[in-house]
Amino acid sequence: MWIPNLASLLLPVASLGGPTAGLPVEAGLLAALPAEASLVIHLPNPKALMASRETNRWVGFATDAEWGRLLGPVLAAVGDDVTESEVAEWRERVLGALEDSTDLVGFATGLDDQEASLGLIVRGGEKTAALLRLFIGGDARVETIDGGHEVLLSAAGRAELYYEFEGLIMVLSTPTVEGSKAVASGCLASLAEGELPPLFLHKGIAERRRPGAAFEFALDLSDLTATEETGFDENGKLPIGGGSSADGMDKLMDELKTAASSVQWVYGTGELGLGETANWNLYAPFDSTSLIGKALGFFGEADKSLLAAAPAGSISATVGAFDINGFTRWALDTTRKFSEDAYEQAMGGLSAAKSAVGVDLLEDIVGPMRGQFLGFSTAPSTEQGGSLLALTNVGSTTFIALTEETDPLLDLFDSLLEMSGMGDTITNEQFAVAGGTEEMELWRSDASTGLPVTIGVGNGRLLISSDAAGSQAYLARMKGEEGVAALLDDKDLAGAVAGASGAIITIQPTVAMADALEGLGAMMDSMNPEVWLPDQDMEDGGDEEEAVLMTMTETMRNVASLARQYFSGTTTSEFVIGDGIVELRTRSK
C-alpha cells in the first residue's frame, strides 16, 4: 500500500485554519514540543476546523473531494507509485483523522542540519490513531523508554517511533531509532510539566498570539542567524573604516551577519470566519539600528490613489513607497565606511556608465525618483507563451515609477537604443497626455525578439511593461480615451483598498489565483518541455517528459476551475514596517 512521507501530512495542516473557541489559555500540546523545535505548526482544534467546511469557503476549497482526483495523476506522473484511488483514500483518512482530533502540533528540529527530525503530536480518537499507526511499518517492536512509557519502534516504516496513551498520539521520524526514543522521552516529560516551549516565550510571539486564531506557525531562526564572530571591539562597537579592502568587506559582512541575527523568529496566525473571510498575519522582528533596520527605514507609506489607474481585468495591482534615492546614497556611504576601495569601484562603475550613455545614473535617474510605485499584472495568455519575461512572473506585468525629471530618462533610452543596434525591432510613438504638461514617448520591441517590452517616459512617469494589453489600457486612460474600465470600478475592491495601509499594498480579486493558474498552464502548453524540465534527458524520454508537462498543465486548469466554484471576493495584502517588527497582513472577504 502506498504511504506518503510523514512531512506530507503537515502540508494540509499548514494550509488550513478555521473558527475555534480560541487558543487555549494553558499550553496544551505546545508544552510537548522539544526545546530544540525549529518549526512548529499548531491547530488548537482540528475538529472545529473540519466542522466549518460548510461555512468557510477556504476550508471547503482545501478539503473538497476533487483534490483526490486532481493530485493522483500528478504524483503518478512524477514517479510516485500511486493510483488516483489511493490518493482519494488517503485524503479521506486524513480528513477523518482531523475530524477526530481536538489538538494537533507538528514540528521539525535540526533545520540547520541535513538530517532533520519530524514529529506529529495529536489529541485524537481511533481514526487518528489508525492513520498514524500506518507510518510505523509492520516490523515494529514494543520497547519501554525513559519514564516507563511503552512505544513502538521500527526501522522499516516511514517513521521510527509511535506512542499512544489515553488519546495522546505521537509519531516521530528522526535520523535514528535511538534519536526518536530520546525525542519522545523529552516530549512526554515536557508535556507533564505543562510549560510553553522557549520559542513561544519570545515576547514578540507571546504578544501576537491571537485568542481567536485557528492556526499558528512559528519558525525559530536563532540557530540559522547566529554568528560565531561579529567583529565587535571591547566596547561592543563594530569598528569601521580603515584597513585593507578585504578587511573592510569582512567587517561589512560581520555587520550584515549581526543584523541578520536580530531576526530571531517568524510567527504567523490564521483566522477564518464565514464565507470567504480570512485574516492571515505574519511577523518577523529586526533591530532598527542594524543595517537591515536602516534599510527598512527607507520604506514609506504607499499612495493608494495610484491604484485608480490600474486597468480592469488585472489579476492584481500593487502600490509601494520606497525612497530609492535615499537608499542608494546610504548604501554607497555605508560601503565607503567599510571599504574605500569598494566604494571607489562602485563610483567608477557609475562614472563609466555616464561616459557610455551620457547620463549620470545616480544624479539624473535615481535622484529625481519620487519613491512611489505602481504595478499591475494580467494572466499570461497562449499568445504570450514565447515571452521569456513571462516566465519570471505569474502574469504579465506593468511597472510604473513616479519621477520629477523625465528628460534624462529620454536621453538614456535613446542612447541605449542606439548602442543596442535593435532599432529595426523597435517601434516608437509619442502622444499628448490628457491634462498633462508633457508628451509620453513609447518604445515597443517586436514580439519576435522573445522579449516583448513596452517602455514609456513622460508626464512624471517611467513605465516598463511585458503586458501589451494591460499597458495599452493604462496608456489609453493617459490619452483621455473614454470608456476605459478601471480595476477599482469594482466597489468591493475599492472598499477593500479604503481600509488598507502600509509600505506595500496589493489588491486583487481572490479568484485571480485561478486566472493566474490558467494563464500559466496555457503558457506552459505553448513552450517546449525542455524549458520547464531542463534537467531531463529529452532525447531518451521525450514522450514521457511531455506527458508529465501535460499532466501538470491539465491539473492547473482543474485547480483553477475548482477555485472558481468557491471564490468571488477580494484579497488585500499589506506590508507594514513597525517599531522593530515587519508585518505582512492578508485579508480576504
pLDDT digits (tens, 9 = 90+) for 451-507: 778 999 999 999 999 888 888 899 999 999 988 999 999 999 999 999 999 999 999
Distances (CA, A) of 270 to 29, 45, 210: 18, 13, 9
pLDDT of amino acid 382: 45
Q: What confidence category does residue 328 fall into, taking pLDDT thresholds of 50, 70 and 90? A: very high
pLDDT of amino acid 232: 40
For the segment 72-96, the average pLDDT, to the nearest whole number, is: 80
For the segment 254-262, the average pLDDT, to the nearest whole number, is: 82
pLDDT digits (tens, 9 = 90+) for 219-242: 998 877 664 444 444 443 444 444
- Inform me whether the pLDDT recorded for 187 exceeds 50: yes
For the segment 144-173, the average pLDDT, to the nearest whole number, is: 92
Q: What confidence category does residue 19 fall into, taking pLDDT thresholds of 50, 70 and 90? A: very low
Location of C-alpha cell 535511538: 178
pLDDT of amino acid 155: 81
Q: What confidence category does residue 156 fall into, taking pLDDT thresholds of 50, 70 and 90? A: confident
Strand locations in 83-189 (E)? 101-109, 117-124, 141-145, 149-153, 161-165, 168-173
| Residue 122 φ/ψ, nearest 5 degrees | -140, 145
**Which residues are 457's β-sheet partners?**
441, 462
pLDDT digits (tens, 9 = 90+) for 346-400: 999 999 999 999 999 999 999 999 999 999 988 655 444 444 444 444 447 899 9
Q: Which residue has the higher pLDDT, 241 or 565?
A: 565
| Residue 18 φ/ψ, nearest 5 degrees | -170, 170
Neighbours of 142 (CB within 10 A): 8
Provide the whole-model pTM.
0.84
Q: Which residue has the higher pLDDT, 15 or 461?
A: 461
- Inform me whether the pLDDT recorded for 437 exceeds 80: no
Query: What is the Cα 513 distance to its own chain's centre?
Result: 14
Question: How high does pLDDT run on average in the chain?
Answer: 84
pLDDT of amino acid 257: 83
pLDDT digits (tens, 9 = 90+) for 495-522: 999 999 999 999 999 988 887 777 777 7
For the segment 19-26, the average pLDDT, to the nearest whole number, is: 42
CA angle 508, 509, 510 (to 5 degrees): 105
Q: Which three cell numbers stand for residue 397?
A: 506585468
- Inform me whether the pLDDT recorded for 415 exceeds 80: yes
Q: Which residue has the higher pLDDT, 195 or 157?
A: 195
Angle in degrees, 0-180, between the axes of helices 407-420 and 340-357, rounded to the nearest 10: 80
Minimal CA–CA distance to 373: which of 452, 305, 474, 431?
A: 305
